[in-house]
Amino acid sequence: MKLAFVTPWYGPEAPGGAEALARSTAECLCRRGLPVEVLTTCARDIYSDWGRDYFRAGTESVNGVPVRRFPVRSHRDRQAFDAINLRLMAGATVTSADEEIFIREMINSPALIAYIRAHCADYVFLPVSYMFGTTYWGVQACPERSWVVPCLHDEAYAYLAVYQDMFAKARGVLFLSRPERDLAHRLYPIADKPAYLIGAGVDTDYAGDAAAFRRAFGIQGPFILYAGRKDAAKNLPLLIEYARRYREKQHVDLKLVLTGGGALHGEATSTD
């Protein structure tokens, strides 16, 4: 029996912590000789058009990991999804009908879900990141062999009823931290479900060079570095506001330096 990581996108070019976790874990397990595959869509990453294929469908090897790519769902109502997503990010209430639209128009691949359903007995499935359509619909296709790796945050999406249904159906849950586990137990009916705190590996074979970083980007004086996607969903506007307040109250020339893809409309990329 094989382990199958189920992700919405996969590859060195796909940014994000959950994506890096799936990639590094799959590569490590393959190097140890375990039978591992990745089941993913042909989308490039979170910033790409979720209704258009970037990669060619089929099987390839990526850093020694067998990767099966499936075409994305090409006909999706992006405007309806974006409207509901904006309301969720703003903390507004959404209806059950909105939730259905949200999960239906999320990144997904009917061909991928059909493959999971047809090969349910051949794998133990590890859908990574709870909110994506590949996880939600993948669990529906083969709940008895799905162990969700939720990468859960205390955010508006986590409180949607559709995810309560998904966690209730999954075979088990694998957590990266105790706070994540505690949050899941507060939100979802998983008290009697197999759930394990597995943590995650951390690369230690490199060292930072603050002086080189300062020279490369012309930074002088004290600074705080944010490394991650520049996205309102990461609560980055609040971080920027906190940095501004701190500067004003403490009367210090402290910079907030942002790295990573994405952009916040109307926000500067640093607090100079």
**Distance (Å) of CA 100 to CA 4, 96, 106, 162, 178:** 27, 6, 10, 8, 30
Q: What are phi and psi of 129, to 5 degrees?
A: 75, 115
Contact 9, 46 (CB under 8 A): yes
Q: What is the DSSP pairing of strand 255-259 with strand 2-6?
A: unpaired
Question: pLDDT tens track of the chain, all 272 residues?
Answer: 899 999 999 998 888 889 999 999 999 999 999 999 999 999 999 888 999 999 999 999 999 999 999 999 988 999 999 999 999 988 899 999 999 999 999 999 999 999 999 999 999 999 999 999 999 999 999 999 999 999 999 999 999 999 999 999 999 999 999 999 999 999 999 999 999 999 988 878 888 888 999 999 999 989 999 988 787 777 888 899 999 999 999 998 889 999 877 777 544 443 33
Distance between CA atoms of 112 and 30, rounded to whole angstroms?
22
Q: Which helix (H) or strand (E) holds 242?
A: helix 236-250
This model's pTM is above 0.95: no
- Alpha carbon dihedral 105, 110, 114, 115, in 10-degree steps, equals -110
